[in-house]
Amino acid sequence: MNLTQAQNTAVKAAKAVGVSMRRHLRETKRAHLTTQHDIKLELDVQSQALIERTLRSTFPKVALLGEEGVAGDAGAEYRWVVDPIDGTVNFAYGIPHACVSIALQRRAQGPGPADYPDGYDTLAGVVYDPFCDELWTGIRGKPARMNGRIIHVSRRPKLSEAIVSIGFAKSRESITAALPYFNKLVYRIRKIRMMGAAALGLTYVATGRFDAYIEGGIRLWDVAAGGLILECAGGEFWHRPIPGEHAYRIIATNGLLRRSLRVPD
For the residues of 168-226, what is the DSSP string, one character each?
A: --SSHHHHHHHHHHHHHHTTTSSEEE--S-HHHHHHHHHHTS-SEEEEEEEEHHHHHHH
At 213 the pLDDT is: 97
For 45-57, what is each residue's pLDDT tens digit? 899 999 999 999 9
Last residue of a domain, one of 150, 168, 200: 150
Residue of 259, 165, 263 whose CA lies nearest to 208: 165
Taking 60 as the threshold, does the pLDDT of residue 264 lie above it? no
Residue of 216, 224, 218 whose CA lies nearest to 136: 224
- What residues are paired with 39 via a beta bridge? 34
Q: Are 138 and 8 contained in the same domain? A: yes
- 68 band by pLDDT with thresholds 50, 70 and 90: confident
Are the C-beta atoms of residues 64 and 52 closer than 8 Å to each other? yes
Are the C-beta atoms of residues 186 and 47 closer than 8 Å to each other? no
Q: Are 124 and 72 contained in the same domain? A: yes
At 159 the pLDDT is: 94
Q: How far apart are CA 42 and CA 107, in angstroms?
A: 31
Q: For the ranges 30-34, 142-146, 199-203, 220-224, which has the lowest average pLDDT?
A: 30-34
Q: Which residue has the higher pLDDT, 196 or 28?
A: 196
Which domain does 88 fall in, by range?
3-150
At 103 the pLDDT is: 98
Domain total in the chain: 2
Taking 90 as the threshold, does the pLDDT of residue 172 lie above it? no
Q: For the ranges 32-46, 50-64, 190-204, 227-241, which has the lowest average pLDDT?
A: 32-46
Are the C-beta atoms of residues 144 and 232 closer than 8 Å to each other? yes
For 209-226, what is each residue's pLDDT tens digit? 999 999 988 999 999 999
Q: What is the mean pLDDT of residues 36-48?
A: 76
Q: Are 178 and 76 contained in the same domain? A: no
- The whole-model pTM stands at 0.93
Are the C-beta atoms of residues 201 and 97 closer than 8 Å to each other? no
The SS3 of residue 141 is: coil
Q: Are 142 and 202 contained in the same domain? A: no
Amino acid letter, residue 41: L
Q: For the ranges 58-62, 107-111, 186-190, 247-251, which has the lowest average pLDDT?
A: 107-111
Q: Are 130 and 168 contained in the same domain? A: no
CATH number at residue 181: 3.40.190.80
Taking 60 as the threshold, does the pLDDT of residue 166 lie above it? yes
